[in-house]
Amino acid sequence: MADAASDLPDLVRKVRLVAFDFDGVFTDNTVIVDQDGRESVRAYRGDGIGLRKLDRLGIANVIISSEVNPVVTARADKMATRCLQGVEDKVAALQSVLDETGLTMGQTAFVGNDVNDLPCLESVGLPIVVQDAHPDVVRFARYRTACRGGLGAVREVCDLFARVLGWPGP
């Protein structure tokens, strides 16, 4: 990981969209499967409040997940966040969102945790990984959260943006 601390505030100020992976970022990367094959995950309730901070700061957000699972949709709906699922090429999906909004990769942060996120991490202006990200992606990040995925990492990223951009609230 590069010396991110010195230029992190400048990178944050350029961002107008934060894209998130789901599994391992909004969750602790574990899944509970019941006898009927239904999956459940653990998620941090404070993430929704963090995403609302981004909204109030004028920073769009989106979840881009390779998974196709009703639990991803349910969580995204609860947090009122756009969600793209079943994405094989996350960079192409992200570029599509950017084309809709008129933004660029340089105005984008991506929060990921594993090797399938690497193309996005290499493409955006502010690549972010969670504390327990796979070692193969850590060195590509400009910021690594103190919190683990699913245990406050998303909220930490949102709070970082709020701090840097002068959020007046708590």
Domain ranges for the chain, please list them: 8-164
Q: Please name the residues in contact with 133: beta carbons below 8 A apart, sequence gap of 6 or more.
A: 24, 112, 113, 114, 141, 144, 149
Q: What is the DSSP letter of 160?
A: H
What value does the CA radius of gyration of the chain take, rounded to a whole number of Å? Answer: 15
Q: Is the pLDDT of residue 1 over 60?
A: no
pLDDT value at position 154? 98
Distances in Å between the alpha carbon of 151 and those of 56, 103, 138? 23, 30, 18
**pLDDT tens column, 37-96:** 888 899 999 999 999 999 999 999 999 999 888 889 999 999 999 999 999 999 999 999
CATH number of 8-164: 3.40.50.1000
**pLDDT tens column, 11-36:** 999 999 999 999 999 999 999 999 99
pLDDT value at position 3? 45
